Amino acid sequence: MSKIAPTLSLQIKREKPSARRKCLPVDDPRKTQDLSDIQPLPPKVFYSHYSWRFLRHPDNTIQTTPPLMSTQLRWGHSLTIRQQYALAAAEQEIARVIDNERVPLDNLPPGLGGGLRELPDIAPSNDIQESLKNLSLERIQRPPTPPKVAIVGAGVSGLFLGMMLDYLNDHIPEFNVGYEIFEANDASRVGGRMFTYNFKPHPPHNPQGPHDYYDVGAMRFPHNPIMQRVFELFDWLDMPMGPLEKDSKNGSLVPYSMTNLTGKDQNEPFRYNDLTKWGSYVNIAAAARGNDAFEFNEDRKDPLIPSAVLAMSPSKVVDDAVEDPAPGSAGRCRNMEGQRGWELLNEPPNTTTPDPTRPPFNTSTINFLESHEWVGIPVIPPVPTTTLTPLPLAKVATTSLTKMHSGTDWYDQAFSETVLESLDFDYDKSTKWWCIMGGSQQLPMLMEKRLKTKPIYSSRVSALRNVLKFNPPNPLTFGVEVSLQGDETSKRRVYDGVFNTTTLGCLRRIDTTECYLPNSTKTALRVLAYGESCKVGIKFSSGWWRQTMPGGHRVEKGGLGHSDLHIRTVVYPSYNVLDDPSQPSVLLVSYTWQQDAERIGALISRSSPAGEDELKALLLRELARLHTTTREDEDKLFATISASYLDHYAHNWSDDATTAGAFAFFRAQQFSTLWPKVVQPAGNLVMIGEASSPHHAWVVGAIESAVAGLYSWLYSRMDLPGAKEAVWLIDGTTPVPRDSHKHPPFLGLPSYLPKNHARWMGLISALRTERAAKRE
């Protein structure tokens, strides 16, 4: 090898798998460490092997080939198939970036002193200051102060990140990273999409009720392994879990009733094709001729819905399809542990099955499945699915079966995602669901109380741009300037990093021109889809649904009302079932998604309830229709409901300027091709929030993204005091401090992002930012 120039370089070339060797940098004190835990990668899974020619300045040349760049996909209980997909997508993006970087990877921040097996120990380059001096970025002189980051948005991920920084500051002596949280809304909307609307009393006409609220955003939490970090957060905030009692305190967790059970049977209203039936769908269908209780097959010239399909709840149809969509093929992956399940998911399907309850379906069956809201797979509302690289299974009439138990147009995507969703959340029927007394916004309110630095409200971020910070004789460092709407030009806010927690639509309205985002990232921000959702809650002078209605029915224990009406789904609260039904009560009268939300959203005002007379009239009439079986009873109940009306509030998340959508709702190909661009930090700009997690629309996705984002950024900023110790504490290299009987929800990387992948993301982001700045 020839002598090298005085620049740290890291050159990469492909190597056959059989040629890999297990070794560490020669100066690693643990170079004799046993590496027998590195197992061969399973077949049929994307993986990459790299070898490194590590050239160290100034005179010595060291060649080392570490083990795999990739950690193998972890089969079994510790990593769900969705998480495996996320891991594979992230790994593929890392490999793609490395393959594109044929120029030596210069000027990367230092590594962890040989603490990595898969990454080399990278030392700072001698000429990094020369590189920074040549950049065309504006230089802003700043006094020597501890590092500080800006957090855009006081949603649950932003608040969690602030709590996490407080925790690290308290437990690592060298670590002292400050933060400021900027929130566009006022303090009443802390929590972002964890929003609870509280009705204001106006006595004597509108008196105070015992529970005058409803959740406009997140409202229920399944206690399963995926959600473990959320329940650790509940515990950390001293939010007790227990049975519902009349004196249950706000902020406590009480059981959430998924159905209204009367004895052993479900007793809920179903209204389709202008017919209302009470009970459980299966029993309603079983009592009808040909199982066609709602006369879906009345037009004999249309393709008929098979009687066997009508006899099953649509959730059972999709559940069975997940179990075995093609005999001998992919659906069995639900019952297969680990790698075999993954292989089955990739096998070609059998599209000739004669079973009428299996896809492909005719158009009438598709419309039937699409029109229903059901409780079956315990994801209510169903988590919007994300689609990855198409699997062979996706060829099985993909848009037919996947249009059920949700809004119109919900499942226009690959069937493989329905399989993955079920594998993710359908652990067993014993999964318990919980809600928060006082509304889900109690969670971010409690989080805000724990913060040592409170959010700055009514502060909309208008621009972000990269700058260089200097304070002679200290070296130049990268920084990010944050501008707020209405700022004076002389006001300069410069931070060491920025964590954006807003939705991608809102981030696009922030001027990031001088952040030098890669085109692929800008494309992801523009293209990645969000779902529509609307909710309407009405406060009544009494809980009329809990009293005997015309026709003799009532709802006692929560659950859902199901229909093809504009209101689609009614959610009966679980938290007020012990209240006196003669007192004022709140009912979630309409919960819609996708096209249904678009249509009812056309009647929703941004200043709700003002200007919503048409919406109010529609809601009251359809409530009466849903709950009665005859026109005479409908008119009686309509009169009762109308007389009981006190107030209402409606919210359209797509018309909310601070969200521009309800939740991430990725379309075909978007997970595998675009999601990694969002997860990858863009230098000192890190995007976190539920869209940056595989678990879209869930609180756990938001908080796990904060852990992953901060970890990758810290690994790219080893120049910050205590960053190395913080990284080691987060990823478990350093044991968890035993200063509390509670497990800190801030520690431990998400299962879908092993530490080596997270570290690579940090290193690559620093490189790409510097390259982009040089091009400018």
Residues in CB range of 744: below 8 A, 6 or more apart: 167, 232, 236, 736
Which of 372-386, 527-541, 601-615 comes out lowest in average pLDDT?
A: 372-386
Task: Report the largest interatomic distance among the alpha carbons of the chain, rounded to a whole angstrom.
Answer: 95
Interval 67-92 mean pLDDT: 51
> Does 76 have pLDDT greater than 60?
no
Q: What is the pLDDT of residues 189-233, one digit of tens each?
A: 999 999 999 999 999 999 999 999 999 999 999 998 888 999 999
58 or 604, greater pLDDT: 604
Which of 417-421, 433-437, 706-710, 720-724 comes out lowest in average pLDDT?
A: 417-421
Predicted TM-score (pTM) of this structure? 0.82
**Could you count the other beta carbons within 10 Å of the beta carbon of residue 529?**
17
Residue 255: phi and psi, rounded to 5, are -60, 145
- What pLDDT was estimated at residue 19? 35
Give whichever of 75-79, 112-116, 458-462 has the largest mean pLDDT. Answer: 458-462
- Token pair belonging to 685: 């700009």
Q: Could you tell me which of 502, 501, 459 has the C-alpha nearest to residue 482?
A: 459
pLDDT level of residue 772 (50, 70, 90 thresholds): low
- Token pair belonging to 355: 């079973």
Residues in CB range of 162: below 8 A, 6 or more apart: 151, 179, 181, 451, 453, 455
Interior CA angle at 24 toward 89 and 749, to 5°? 40
CA 539 to chain centre: 30
Residue 749: phi and psi, rounded to 5, are -70, 150
What is the spatial distance between Cα 194 and Cα 445, in angstroms, rounded to a whole number? 10
Q: Where are the domains of the chain?
A: 148-189+442-529+666-775, 196-217+531-652, 303-434
- Token pair belonging to 194: 């964890």
Q: Quick check: 448 and 755 in contact, CB under 8 A?
A: no
**Could you count the other beta carbons within 10 Å of the beta carbon of residue 27?**
11
C-alpha distance across the termini of the chain, in Å = 34
What is the spatial distance between Cα 680 and Cα 521, in angstroms, rounded to a whole number? 9
Which of 46-55, 138-147, 227-236, 247-256 comes out lowest in average pLDDT?
A: 46-55
Give whichever of 52-56, 166-170, 727-731 has the largest mean pLDDT. Answer: 166-170
Query: Residue 201 burial (CB < 10 Å; 0-12/13-18/19+)?
Result: middle
Q: Which CATH number fits domain 148-189+442-529+666-775: 3.40.50.2300, 3.90.226.10, 3.30.565.10, 3.50.50.60?
A: 3.50.50.60
What is the spatial distance between Cα 233 and Cα 226, in angstroms, rounded to a whole number? 13
Taking the C-alpha atoms of 134, 140, 144 and 148 in order, what is their torsion angle to the nearest 10 degrees?
-100
> Does 542 have pLDDT greater than 60?
yes
pLDDT level of residue 633 (50, 70, 90 thresholds): very high
Interval 227-253 mean pLDDT: 96
> Does 627 have pLDDT greater than 70?
yes
What are all long-range contacts of 71-78, with beta carbons under 8 Å and residues at least 24 apart?
71/118, 71/754, 71/756, 71/757, 72/38, 72/39, 72/40, 72/41, 72/42, 72/47, 73/41, 73/42, 73/45, 73/342, 74/751, 75/42, 75/337, 75/338, 75/339, 75/342, 76/337, 76/338, 77/337, 78/751
Q: Quick check: 560 and 537 in contact, CB under 8 A?
A: no
Residue 737: phi and psi, rounded to 5, are -60, 135
Interval 295-309 mean pLDDT: 86
Q: Could you tell me which of 394, 404, 321, 391 has the C-alpha nearest to residue 356?
A: 321
> Does 383 have pLDDT greater than 70?
no
Taken in order 751, 756, 759, 765, the sign of the CA dihedral is: negative
Q: Could you tell me which of 166, 186, 13 has the C-alpha nearest to residue 99?
A: 13
Taken in order 332, 337, 343, 346, the sign of the CA dihedral is: positive
Q: Could you tell me which of 659, 615, 622 has the C-alpha nearest to residue 641?
A: 622
> Does 45 have pLDDT greater than 70?
no
Interval 442-453 mean pLDDT: 98
CATH hierarchy code of domain 196-217+531-652: 3.90.660.10
- What pLDDT was estimated at residue 680? 79
pLDDT level of residue 722 (50, 70, 90 thresholds): very high
- Token pair belonging to 628: 């009665």
Q: Quick check: 254 and 246 in contact, CB under 8 A?
A: no
- State percent of the chain over pLDDT 90: 46
Which of 33-42, 493-502, 585-594, 695-704 comes out lowest in average pLDDT?
A: 33-42
Which of 47-56, 572-581, 692-701 comes out lowest in average pLDDT?
A: 47-56
Across the chain, what does the average pLDDT equal? 76
- Token pair belonging to 15: 């190597």
What are all long-range contacts of 727-731, with beta carbons under 8 Å and residues at least 24 apart?
727/112, 727/759, 728/112, 728/115, 729/168, 729/171, 729/172, 730/168, 731/755, 731/758
Q: Concatenated DSSP letters for 201-214?
A: PBTTTBPPPTT-EE
What is the spatial distance between Cα 112 and Cα 718, in angstroms, rounded to a whole number? 8
Q: Quick check: 411 and 371 in contact, CB under 8 A?
A: no
pLDDT level of residue 293 (50, 70, 90 thresholds): very high
- What pLDDT was estimated at residue 644? 98
Interval 155-163 mean pLDDT: 98
> Does 38 have pLDDT greater than 50?
no
What is the spatial distance between Cα 676 and Cα 656, in angstroms, rounded to a whole number? 27
- What pLDDT was estimated at residue 643? 97
DSSP state of 306: P
> Does 235 have pLDDT greater than 50?
yes
Q: Concatenated DSSP letters for 733-758?
A: SSPPP-SSSSPPTT-S--TTS-HHHH
Q: What is the pLDDT of residues 639-690, one digit of tens each?
A: 999 999 999 999 999 999 999 999 888 777 777 778 888 887 878 899 999 9
- What pLDDT was estimated at residue 759? 81
> Does 150 have pLDDT greater than 90?
yes
> Does 88 have pLDDT greater than 60?
yes
Q: What is the pLDDT of residues 466-506, one digit of tens each?
A: 988 887 777 788 899 999 999 887 788 999 999 999 999 99
Mapping DSSP to helix (H, G, I), strand (E, B) and coil, where does residue 475 land?
strand
Interval 745-767 mean pLDDT: 82
Query: Residue 136 burial (CB < 10 Å; 0-12/13-18/19+)?
Result: exposed
> Does 385 have pLDDT greater than 50?
no
- What pLDDT was estimated at residue 707? 97
**737 Rama class: left (phi>0) / alpha (psi -120 to 50) / beta:** beta
- What pLDDT was estimated at residue 266? 86
- What pLDDT was estimated at residue 536? 98
Interior CA angle at 535 toward 270 and 212, to 5°? 100
- What pLDDT was estimated at residue 169? 98
Which of 138-142, 224-228, 301-305 comes out lowest in average pLDDT?
A: 138-142
Query: Residue 527 burial (CB < 10 Å; 0-12/13-18/19+)?
Result: middle
- What pLDDT was estimated at residue 771? 66
Query: Residue 131 burial (CB < 10 Å; 0-12/13-18/19+)?
Result: middle
